[in-house]
């Protein structure tokens, strides 16, 4: 880790056992979910989502991303209030069942049955919020990462509600079915997993003041504010608001790519470093693509259509940024937490404001 970063306390034997058990459970759920995600489009029943479609990309989140994100979240919340930790544990146990129900909902057309199958996911999302919102506010005192952790807990139920509306076929305020579904996707990836990764990066940055810390503090604000601005633009049919929201998210995530690269540079193991660097590169490319789309929409020029933008951006976000980022941070924290390396960690050349690229 970067010298001077916030280091998690050395785990006790019971905590180490709990961490290993939780890790095995989460990895098993993620691998099982990946298998279901791969074979789902080819199941000869109902109308499964086609391989690589926007619906197929979305279900990768509850099936594969969610168990890994919840594992990282549990690690980051260790220093918070443990009084509601049981909600998190229960949510992690219920998550695989709820995720399979979400996948099953896409085998049916929008309606009551499809909506009912996603209700369990909303329950899990609320459990996560109840179990972690207060704990998030107490993580490492006044550290900036708690803002991102709190936002992740609040945005997930919102995304689950949009998913429920989408599968029910309900479109409030004359929104299109695609807009409602994109809101669900946006709040799950940018509202939940993005915020967790922002917090994970922040907790690895130097405790002392530096330009990286300042950059991260600003991107935290932008990443939290950009999501409701985009939602307001969609609900109010305002291209200007949508452009402002997209621009805010683009600037924030490019800043995240820079700070993530700084953390990746300090990782001692090559595997973790490569995953974090791949995550940083993917989000940078994805946000440049989103910026091109936003400028085109504002100017009335469809340089990149919604289907193509969503497909490319979704793949980069789901596989490159989110999956690699989660795996990289989990490898870093679980490996270091188990051994509590005593030797001084390498220093990133980006960590000191007096140094440059």
Copy the structure tokens of residue 217. Answer: 């503090």
**128-141 tens-digit pLDDT:** 998 887 778 776 55
Q: In whole angstroms, give the CA distance from residue 277 to residue 260.
A: 7
**318-330 tens-digit pLDDT:** 888 999 999 999 9
* Among 171-175, 208-212, 274-278, 320-324, the least confident range: 208-212
Of 121, 258, 256, 130, which Cα lies nearest the Cα of 199? 256
Q: What is the mean pLDDT of residues 248-258?
A: 90
Q: Are 127 and 91 in contact (CB under 8 A)?
A: yes
Of 45 and 3, the one with more pLDDT: 45
Of 313 and 302, the one with more pLDDT: 313
Q: Are 201 and 216 in contact (CB under 8 A)?
A: yes
What does the pLDDT read at residue 289?
76
- Above 70 in pLDDT, residue 13? no
Q: Are 156 and 98 in contact (CB under 8 A)?
A: no
- Above 50 in pLDDT, residue 343? no
User: Residue 5 forms beta bridges with which residues?
Assistant: 206
How far CA 220 is from CA of 4, 91, 122, 153, 192, in Å, comes to 20, 26, 26, 15, 13
- Above 90 in pLDDT, residue 52? no
* Among 111-125, 127-141, 238-252, 312-326, the least confident range: 127-141
What stretches of 139-233 adopt beta strand conformation (E)? none
Q: In whole angstroms, give the CA distance from residue 70 to residue 88.
A: 8
Q: In whole angstroms, give the CA distance from residue 277 to residue 274.
A: 5
Q: What is the mean pLDDT of residues 133-157?
A: 81
What does the pLDDT read at residue 140?
59
CB-based contacts of 59, cutoff 8 Å, min separation 6: 37, 40, 49, 99, 102, 103, 106
Q: Quick one: what percent of the chain has pLDDT higher than 90? A: 42
pLDDT band at 75 (very low <50, low <70, confident <90, very high): confident
- Above 60 in pLDDT, residue 262? yes
Q: Are 148 and 101 in contact (CB under 8 A)?
A: no
**105-116 tens-digit pLDDT:** 999 999 999 999
Copy the structure tokens of residue 45. Answer: 């029943």
Q: What is the mean pLDDT of residues 34-56?
A: 91
């Amino acid at each position: 880790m970067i010298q001077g970063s916030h280091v998690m306390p050395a785990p006790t034997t019971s905590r180490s056992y709990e961490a290993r058990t939780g890790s095995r459970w989460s990895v098993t759920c993620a691998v099982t979910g990946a298998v279901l995600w791969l074979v789902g489009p080819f199941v000869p029943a109902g109308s499964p989502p086609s391989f690589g479609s926007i619906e197929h990309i979305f279900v990768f989140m509850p099936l594969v991303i969610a168990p890994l994100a919840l594992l990282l979240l549990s690690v980051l919340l260790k220093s918070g209030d443990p009084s509601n930790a049981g909600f998190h544990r229960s949510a992690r146990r219920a998550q695989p069942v709820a995720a399979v129900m979400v996948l099953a909902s896409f085998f049916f057309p929008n309606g009551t049955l499809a909506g009912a199958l996603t209700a369990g996911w909303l329950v899990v999302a609320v459990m996560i919020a109840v179990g972690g919102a207060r704990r998030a506010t107490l993580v490492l005192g006044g550290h900036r990462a708690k803002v991102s952790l709190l936002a992740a807990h609040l945005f997930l139920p919102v995304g689950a509600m949009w998913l429920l509306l989408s599968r029910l076929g309900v479109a409030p305020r004359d929104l299109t079915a695609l807009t409602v579904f994109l809101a669900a996707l946006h709040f799950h990836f940018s509202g939940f997993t993005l915020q967790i990764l922002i917090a994970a990066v922040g907790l690895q940055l130097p405790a002392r003041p530096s330009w990286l810390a300042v950059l991260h503090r600003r991107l935290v604000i932008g990443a939290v504010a950009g999501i409701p601005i985009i939602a307001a633009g969609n609900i109010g049919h305002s291209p200007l608001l949508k452009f402002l929201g997209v621009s805010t998210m683009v600037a924030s995530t490019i800043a995240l790519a820079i700070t993530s690269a700084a953390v990746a540079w300090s990782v001692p193991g090559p595997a973790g470093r490569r995953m974090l660097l791949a995550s940083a590169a993917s989000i940078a490319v994805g946000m440049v693509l989103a910026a091109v789309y936003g400028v085109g929409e504002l100017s009335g020029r469809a340089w990149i259509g919604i289907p193509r933008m969503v497909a490319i951006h979704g793949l980069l976000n789901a596989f490159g940024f989110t999956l690699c980022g989660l795996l990289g941070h989990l490898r870093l924290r679980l490996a270091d937490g188990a051994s509590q390396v005593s030797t001084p960690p390498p220093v990133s050349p980006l960590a000191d404001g007096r140094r440059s690229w």
